A = this chain, B = another copy of it.
Amino acid sequence: MGIRVAVAGASGYAGGELLRLLAGHPEFALVAATAHSQAGSHVTAVHPQLAGLDLTLSPTDAAGLSQADLVFLALPHGQSAAIVAQLPESVKVVDLGADFRLRDAALWERYYGGAHAGTWTYGLPELPGQRELIAASDRVANTGCYAATITLALAPLIAAGLADPADVVVVASSGTSGAGRSAKVNLLASEIMGDLSPYKVGAHQHVPEIKQATGATSLSMTPILAPMPRGILATVTARFAKEGNPRDVLAAAYADEPFVHVLPEGAWPHTAATSGSNSCHLQATVDVDSGRIVVVSALDNLGKGAAGQAVQCANLMSGLPETTGLSVFGVAP
């Protein structure tokens, strides 16, 4: 029956996307999907896009999840450690939350609050050497969606010495599914359609993760909520540390990657082209007036930014071809 997998936190947007990907995955067999207030509901009452899938959400407890060979956690931040503590060591885990991403406990406490749960292998296979680490790990901390978008754009440029790690400015816009499925007035369609709204300006909790993953030492990040359900577009600019062609560096770094595409010269990433896929699109140039490096990066926050990335990691951890059950191609228009 293949490899048994379970999803904890299946009622949210990342959870729903995980269920969609797993339903089409040829090697993973879903044995449990859990939820909190929605436990007991048929999956289609929560995710109508899954009509045709016969599945009832169960409560989130360790007994149910322990039937699986591999568990995806898509829980609110801070809830992963407690459930992991109850799982047998033999059960592999991919955590889509932030709990095990940061190495620095003090930064965790400052930006997220509460005790630091620990540090797991960071789930971004395209970082040098990381693919092998993930394949050898039983516990993987999936990247955040902003972190994935920005790290893929920036890490090779800092690693190559082109981008000054002390002078990085990022403005990144996200679709609304990135804000989760909670009933808040500021996330109502009436407020969002026709609107761009910045939030957490000056102090976003993902900055430490991005610095850790990219090697940046000083990074200004302004996040913006955009009127679209999915997608992140990040504009990453940095001062040159030494001369070079930023597009060439990115093209070399990702030449063999199935999911990271440096676009042809003159073509710029846009979010719709990545929607529903596990791909990240990149392009880079040099700003004429300021001489800064400008990289634009686009991906689907629920795909390569969350559920797709998690399946990619799970494939590696399970000895499967990395691309199994994932689509390179976006659903557009």
Give the residues from 182 to 220 in chain A that come closer than 8 angstroms, CB to CB, to chain B.
Answer: 182-185, 187-199, 201-203, 207, 211, 218-220
A8-24 vs B, Cβ < 8 Å mask (1 yes, 0 no):
00000100100010011
Task: Answer whether residue A121 sits at the interface, using C-beta atoms and an 8 A cutoff.
Answer: no
Total identical chains = 4
> Does A177 lie at the interface of the complex (its beta carbon under 8 Å from any beta carbon of B)?
yes
**A331 CB-CB contact with B under 8 Å:** yes
- Is the Cβ of B332 less than 8 Å from the Cβ of A197? no
Q: Are B49 and A277 in contact (CB under 8 A)?
A: yes
Q: Is A263 an interface residue (CB 8 A)?
A: yes
Contact flags A83-95 to B (C-beta < 8 A → 1, else 0): 0000000000000
Contact with B along A262-275 (1 / 0, CB 8 A): 01100111111111
A292 on the B face (CB < 8 A): yes
A176 touches which one: B50, B189, B261, B274 (CB < 8 A)?
B189
A117 contacts B by Cβ under 8 Å: no
Asked if A33 is at the interface (CB within 8 A of a chain B CB), the reply is no
A182–B187 alpha-carbon span in the complex (Å):
11
Provide the bound-state CA to CA distance between A283 and B183, in Å: 27
A44 within 8 A of B: yes
A240 CB to nearest chain B CB (Å): 12
Identify the closest chain B residue to A332 (Cβ). Answer: B49
> B202, A287: Cβ atoms under 8 Å?
yes
Task: Give me the 8 closest cross-chain CB pairs, A-B, nearest first.
Answer: A49-B330, A189-B192, A197-B270, A195-B272, A171-B171, A220-B290, A49-B332, A48-B273
18 contacts between A and B (CB under 8 A): A20-B329, A24-B327, A48-B263, A48-B330, A49-B272, A49-B330, A171-B222, A189-B189, A189-B227, A189-B229, A194-B231, A196-B270, A198-B235, A201-B268, A203-B289, A218-B291, A220-B287, A227-B228
